[in-house]
Amino acid sequence: MSTWAIGDLQGCYDATQRLLEKIRFDPAGDMLWFCGDLVNRGGQSLETLRLVHSLRERSVVVLGNHDLSLLAIGERAPAEKRKVNPDLQRVVLADDADELLGWLRRQKLVHADRSLGWLMVHAGLAPQWTTQQAEQYALEIERQLHGDGYRGLLRNMYGDKPNWSPGLRGYERWRATINWFTRARYCTPRGRIAIEEKGPPGTQAAGLYPWYEAPGRVERDLKIVCGHWSTLGLTLTGGIHAIDTGAVWGGKLTALQLDSEDLRVVQVPGRDVPALPPHLRKE
């Protein structure tokens, strides 16, 4: 029995199948943790979503920004759905779209397993949040997504502001929280997200830090596994385990064994693309 965390799939069905074969995934005993962004850009989002849905009894999923966007698109009128990219069109116009999107909407924003010693989130946590606070803030949003308030939340979740503050209420609070869980890379020591900064460490503006290195951040009682940041690459340091390795851009798809003392990493080639983008090339 093994527990594996897997980085951003982004519609790369073939690579996902290769990775499951390489780790010898056994649905009779193994568990999979998917770090979010199951869909978009890879050209096989429908197949990927169906695969993860079929594994739902043996997996945990946290939502990424692309997953939330897909849910919002799924609430649009049919004519509007046909304006999105072909990869997502195939999902929202599929015969089983209601079943797939209904299942996706009921997934988490944060997953913690204290017996295993891990917390999973798609992007990051604010420097001042403990793992317990992160779970609490995630639950506020999950209650909306899983209940009758989901349409309002999906309509009002977009935007880079406001900055997180414990005094926020309603949609502003939920938007600021969603931005941390699904879009964060860099921030100031006081926790202002710099969403426009997307490059690898060393390219950011002065005064910004990777969210997991922000000065004054709280000590956390769980190791964190996350995705979202392909330019960061595989990073296993300081309690942070970032495993988005750019499969959709022609990089690799990564699995990290969470119940292994030596943090076993398994990788397979990602999507076949004409050339790697500059941020993933190794000179």
CATH 1.10.645.10 at 3-274, yes or no: no
Contacts of 48-56 with CB under 8 Å at 24 or more apart are 48/9, 48/11, 48/12, 48/13, 48/16, 49/91, 49/100, 49/104, 50/96, 50/100, 51/13, 51/16, 51/17, 52/9, 53/99, 53/100, 53/103, 53/104, 55/27, 56/103
pLDDT of 253: 98
pLDDT of 146: 97
pLDDT of 51: 98
Counting as low any pLDDT under 70, the low residues of the chain are: 275-283
Name the residue ranges covered by the structural domains of the chain.
3-274
pLDDT of 273: 80
pLDDT of 255: 98
pLDDT of 261: 85
pTM over 0.85: yes
pLDDT of 283: 39
pLDDT of 275: 62
pLDDT of 277: 60
pLDDT of 278: 60
pLDDT of 34: 98
**Residues across the chain:** 283
pLDDT of 272: 87
